[in-house]
Amino acid sequence: MRAWTWRAFAELSPYELYSILQLRALVFVVEQECAYNDLDGYDAASHHLFTQDAAGRVIASLRMLPPGVKYAEPSLGRVVTHPDTRGTGLGRELMREGMRRAATDFPGAAIRIGAQKRLEGFYRSLGFLAVSPPYDEDGIEHVEMLRES
């Protein structure tokens, strides 16, 4: 069974924060060739979920914003897995753990995400439904999706 770490922003060690940001930059900036402002001011209000490999490298992470910060509902975002782990089910495991944490912290609340449109099927398989038309965010087509409790 995989070990997951769940921390408020202020509880992250400098190494943990660096490793999370390093993974997000690798995937969202380098791999997806998207120059955007990752440091958007929401991390400090979030809880962060992540797992590491044997070398201590963060290989999957997401952040959960509480209701009222970005959306009326709690929100999972910055969902990312290391390219080396793709196709292993780690992304699904990450999302399931994030949804479990959201249900524990905010019982009965729906969860809203801003998903990359190309991943809509993945999120739909986890119970999310598109609730907005597609929109451009930093040059990548997105769609808001909602998962009822």
Residue 57 domain flag: yes
SS3 at position 7: strand
Residue 145 domain flag: no
Confidence (pLDDT) at 129: 97
Query: What tens-digit pLDDT sequence spans the chain (149 residues)?
Result: 789 999 999 999 999 999 999 999 999 888 887 777 788 899 999 999 999 999 999 999 999 999 999 999 999 999 999 999 999 999 999 999 999 999 999 999 999 999 999 999 999 999 999 999 999 988 889 999 999 98
Q: Which two tokens stand for residue 65?
A: 């914003």
In sequence order, which ranges of 78-119 are alpha helices (DSSP H)? 90-105
CATH number of the structural domain spanning residue 71: 3.40.630.30
Confidence (pLDDT) at 1: 72
Structural domain boundaries enclosing 82: 5-106
Following DSSP, what letter does each residue of 47-61 receive, concatenated? Answer: EEEEEE-TTS-EEEE
Q: Which two tokens stand for residue 38?
A: 């990752």
Residue 9 domain flag: yes
Confidence (pLDDT) at 110: 98
Question: Strand pairing of 135-137 and 47-52?
Answer: unpaired
Confidence (pLDDT) at 146: 97
List the beta bridge partners of residue 81: 60
Question: Strand pairing of 5-8 and 47-52?
Answer: antiparallel
**The total number of structural domains that make up the chain:** 1
